[in-house]
Amino acid sequence: MTNPDQQNVETSTVGRVRPAVAALASYRPGKGAKQAEAEHGITNAIKLASNENPYEPVPAVVEALRTAATGVNRYADHRATELRSRIGSWLGVATERITVGCGSVGLLQQLCLAYLDPGDEVVYPWPSFEAYPIMVKLMGAVPVTVDLVDHAFDLDAVAAAVTDKTKIVMLATPNNPTGTALSTEQIAAFLDQIPPEVLVLVDEAYREFVDPTFGDPVADLGDRYPNVVVSRTFSKAYGLAGLRVGYVVADPAVVAELDKVLLAFAVNGMAQAGALAALDALDEIQPKVDLVLAERSRVVAALADAGWPTPDAQANFVYVPLGDRTDDIAVGLEKLGVVIRPFSGVGMRVTIGSPEENDRFLAAFHEVAES
């Protein structure tokens, strides 16, 4: 799998940029539908490349955003007091254990800012979320990666990679891009092997898509292991990716440090209002999540029938190990107007879209992969 920060390294000629920043690649977001249309001279392309929710926010959320828009001449509540307490009561967790950030990626950055000095080590399985190496290297800290086994985490190997230099372990469950999840029993057994001064980030960006039998890290682990930091987001299941709001559940001492490094007003007033309205509209949002889950089963079954088994898919995407054929298949799909996320030479990640979009993907995949 290519690591984006090993490519496109640009040299700065103005100013004395930090070496850690100079060594990073410029961020390249996933290709959009419009860009694919322009490149291939096609129309009607669809984007199944960024794990977004295919459905627009429910009307009550849109209405709340409209109302909040009239207040943007003012700074919002920096601490997002109402949203924190609402999340706390929703989860049955004390408000001091909750903080909010500019997406869960914002909180990831806060965690790195608050806890990493140059030379500190951060352990995470790889391939995993592509923001991890970027945030770690930005601090001058050192990523220590542990290979996946059968597209899933080998937690004993992760525990073995922890040294006295390790400050943080990052576990995305479900993992992006492979979609496999950890049970809370597995996480607890891992935590029992880890020194309590090492923070363990449990990144649950896709929690709402996970089979409930995997357990709930907040309910099952939070009180027993003060070093666990659970991050979640309104971006995926709640369909608010563009608003940028995520939250963390952690020990109050960790929350206090994260709060010190929150960029002023990073969670803006519309983001706070949209998240609050989403929490009021969970009964309208859940059916959309259920539809994505039903579609995920359908896509997984169709791929398996066609001879392409996938690792256990617990998020709103499927990972298809295509090996050497990945790059050709990705280009073929794109020419047919279906933009997915290829990982060169290993596999592709395909977001579950609307039923029509998934039909488009499956038809295109059959055409390209079986030719």
Q: Summarize as ranges the residues that interact with ligand PLP (CB under 6 A).
A: 51, 103-105, 129, 172, 176, 203, 205, 233, 235-236, 241, 246
The DSSP line for 16-43 is: ---HHHHTSBPP-PPPPHHHHHHHHT-S
3-class secondary structure, 290: helix
Q: Smallest distance from the beta carbon of 310 to ligand PLP, in angstroms? A: 17
Integer Cα distance of 355 and 348 in angstroms: 19
Residue 371 CB: number of other CB atoms within 10 A? Answer: 8
Integer Cα distance of 51 and 225 in angstroms: 30
Integer Cα distance of 33 and 45 in angstroms: 5
Q: Smallest distance from the beta carbon of 70 to ligand PLP, in angstroms? A: 25
For the chain, give the longest Cα–Cα distance: 58
**Beta-sheet strand order (sheet of 347-351):** 317-321, 347-351, 341-343
Q: Smallest distance from the beta carbon of 96 to ligand PLP, in angstroms? A: 22
Nearest residue (beta carbon) to ligand PLP: 103
Q: Smallest distance from the beta carbon of 103 to ligand PLP, in angstroms? A: 2
CB closer to ligand PLP, 131 vs 300: 131
Q: Smallest distance from the beta carbon of 31 to ligand PLP, in angstroms? A: 16
CA distances (Å), origin 140, targets 89, 108, 261: 38, 15, 17
Q: Smallest distance from the beta carbon of 240 to ligand PLP, in angstroms? A: 9
Integer Cα distance of 324 and 266 in angstroms: 42
Strand 347-351, strand 246-249: pairing: unpaired
Q: Are 355 and 64 in contact (CB under 8 A)?
A: no
Helix 269-280, helix 282-305: angle, nearest 10: 80
Q: Smallest distance from the beta carbon of 153 to ligand PLP, in angstroms? A: 13
Helix 282-305, helix 355-369: angle, nearest 10: 20
CB closer to ligand PLP, 108 vs 364: 108
CB closer to ligand PLP, 272 vs 336: 272
CB closer to ligand PLP, 235 vs 272: 235
CB closer to ligand PLP, 169 vs 172: 172
CB closer to ligand PLP, 204 vs 368: 204
Q: Smallest distance from the beta carbon of 115 to ligand PLP, in angstroms? A: 18
CB closer to ligand PLP, 172 vs 299: 172
Q: Are 37 and 226 in contact (CB under 8 A)?
A: no
CB closer to ligand PLP, 129 vs 225: 129
Q: Which residue has the tokens 């709103």?
A: 316
